[in-house]
């Protein structure tokens, strides 16, 4: 592989569609074996960063149609070793109320039909996924952010259940997710996280709780009350309000990642190299 373009990437979830001044960044359309991915290279926290938005700059890509393999392959081809991602989530547990930030460390996959491995032809590799998010990056982010962000609570752990989308949960499903041990619900963190791990990229996720999913998580300061039932309008309004804090949190985490950070080798390096050597398609 050539000299790395960027060793850290930011993947923006709903509400985070740009990160740099257009005059001081470079947009790249990167051909991969799985299709084309759009990546912007710029500077954040005095660091060269590759930025990719999951849903596109106009939020036109539905969760189940995101080309996760193209996105992760493109970042790996640029030399990315660490991903700091943001995500909008609903709270299905009373301790994860709207307005809370969560450093997610576990997921429960409830998606279906998504291409979720690079090793499905010729070479089968079994990814160890007990700790799907990088423990080192998680620890770095927890220390850097502390327990509070601009007055908002930062919870150091959380289990997200990833649903297919684009519809939101029924009340029965929310109750089921809580009973299964989930704290939050999201539509996009799977298969993004294990795909990154397959190519030797560590991930850390900062989620923002926008709502109480089907009304289960109470609002902050109203522990005995019912939460806000999720709607697209509510989610986007709260994301717009929280966006400056989300960006500051991302900057804080990036500043804390040491230059010599290396992700875990969960797949043999020669197998990763073989995937990255595949012929690209326009």
Provide CB contacts within 8 A for 79, sequence distance 6+: 1, 2, 3, 4, 5, 6, 7
- 279 lies in a domain? no
Examine residue 281 and state whether it is found in any structural domain, yes or no: no
Report the C-alpha gap between 161 and 89 in whole angstroms.
10
**pLDDT for 150:** 81
Pairing type for strands 159-163 and 106-110 reads parallel
pTM for this entry: 0.92
Q: Note whether residue 198 is domain-resident.
A: yes
pLDDT digits (tens, 9 = 90+) for 62-120: 999 999 999 999 999 999 999 999 999 999 998 998 999 999 999 999 999 999 999 99
Residue-wise pLDDT for 236-266, tens only, equals 888 888 888 999 999 999 999 999 999 999 9
Whether the predicted pLDDT of 221 surpasses 60: no
Structural domain count, the chain: 1
Q: State the Cα–Cα distance between residues 79 and 243, nearest whole angstrom.
A: 27
Tokens 């327990």 found at: 147
Q: Which of 192, 41, 40 is nearest to 118 (CA)?
A: 192
For residue 169, give the CATH number of its domain.
3.40.50.1580
Instruction: Tell me, yes or no, whether 2 lies in a domain.
Output: no
Range of the domain at 138: 8-272
Q: What is the C-alpha to C-alpha distance for residues 93 and 267, in angstroms, rounded to an integer?
A: 34
Judge whether 280 lies within some domain: no
What confidence tens digit (pLDDT) does each residue in 18-46 have?
Answer: 888 888 999 999 999 999 999 999 999 99
Say if 191 falls within a structural domain: yes
Confirm whether 282 is domain-assigned: no
The CA-based diameter of the chain, rounded to the nearest angstrom, is: 57
Q: CB-based burial of residue 120 (10 Å sphere; 0-12 exposed, 13-18 middle, 19+ buried)? A: exposed
> Active-site residues: which are they?
211, 213
């Amino acid at each position: 592989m050539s000299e790395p373009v960027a060793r850290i990437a930011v993947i923006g979830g709903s509400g985070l569609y740009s990160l740099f001044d257009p005059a001081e960044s470079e947009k790249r359309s990167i051909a991969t074996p799985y299709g084309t991915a759009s990546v912007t290279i710029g500077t954040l926290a005095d660091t060269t960063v590759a930025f990719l938005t999951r849903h596109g700059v106009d939020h036109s890509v539905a969760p189940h149609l995101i080309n996760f393999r193209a996105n992760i392959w493109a970042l790996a081809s640029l030399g990315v070793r660490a991903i700091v991602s943001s995500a909008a989530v609903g709270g299905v547990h009373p301790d994860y109320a709207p307005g809370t930030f969560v450093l997610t460390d576990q997921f429960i996959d409830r998606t279906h039909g998504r291409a979720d491995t690079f090793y499905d032809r010729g070479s089968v590799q079994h990814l160890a996924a007990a700790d799907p998010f990088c423990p080192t990056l998680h620890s770095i982010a927890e220390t850097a952010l502390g327990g509070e962000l601009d007055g908002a609570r930062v919870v150091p752990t959380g289990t997200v259940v990833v649903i297919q989308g684009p519809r939101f949960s029924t009340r029965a499903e929310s109750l089921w997710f809580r009973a299964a041990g989930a704290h939050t619900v999201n539509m996009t963190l799977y298969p993004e996280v294990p795909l990154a791990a397959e190519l030797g990229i560590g991930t850390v996720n900062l989620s923002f709780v926008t709502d109480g999913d089907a009304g289960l998580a109470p609002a902050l300061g109203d522990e005995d009350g019912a939460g806000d039932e999720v709607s697209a309008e509510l989610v986007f309004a709260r994301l717009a309000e929280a966006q400056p804090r989300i960006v500051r949190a991302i900057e804080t985490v990036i500043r804390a990642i040491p230059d010599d950070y290396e992700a875990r080798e969960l797949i043999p390096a020669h197998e990763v190299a073989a995937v990255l050597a595949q012929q690209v398609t326009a």
